Amino acid sequence: MPTLFSAEFLNEPELVALYLPILRADLALLESRDHRTPDGPLLQCPITVYGGLEDSTTTKSDLAAWQRETRSACEIRLFSGNHFYLNRRWREVAADVAGRLTDCR
């Protein structure tokens, strides 16, 4: 499998078509991000952080760092897969999110 952004990858239209929407979504999120200032208020609600069990770029420690953003609980949920686990596990993640939202009512 060619690596992302390698010439081999860029010459594979099907791979580019597969990953381009993901990259665009990531960039749109980064551009729209309105993060609190370092001395700004923390969240007052629990947060859930999602990740892939086999992700070599985002460690469990990276995910645990989200605890600094809230005064409440921070739970880490890991799913089978790498950094792009969501491509194959989206139904499981969506069910998990839906279940958590239902529990909040």
pTM of the model: 0.63
Rounded to whole angstroms, the Cα distance separating 20 from 103 reads: 35
Handedness of CA 81, 87, 91, 94 (dihedral sign): positive
Write out the two tokens for 14.
């099907």
The domain segmentation of the chain, as residue ranges, is 1-34, 37-105
Check residue 18 and give its pLDDT: 85
The residues, any chain, with a CB within 8 Å of residue 43's CB and separated by 6 or more, are 69, 70, 71, 72
If you count them, how many residues does the chain have? 105
The residue ranking higher by pLDDT, 2 or 100, is 100
Q: Please name which of 84, 2, 94 lies closest in space to residue 48, comparing C-alpha atoms.
A: 94
pLDDT one-digit tens code per residue, 62-92: 999 999 889 999 999 999 999 989 888 989 9
pLDDT reading at 104 higher than 70:
no
Contact 70, 18 (CB under 8 A): no
DSSP letter string, 33-76: --PPPTTSPPBSS-EEEEEETT-SSS-HHHHHGGGGGBSS-EEE
13 confidence band (pLDDT: 50, 70, 90): confident
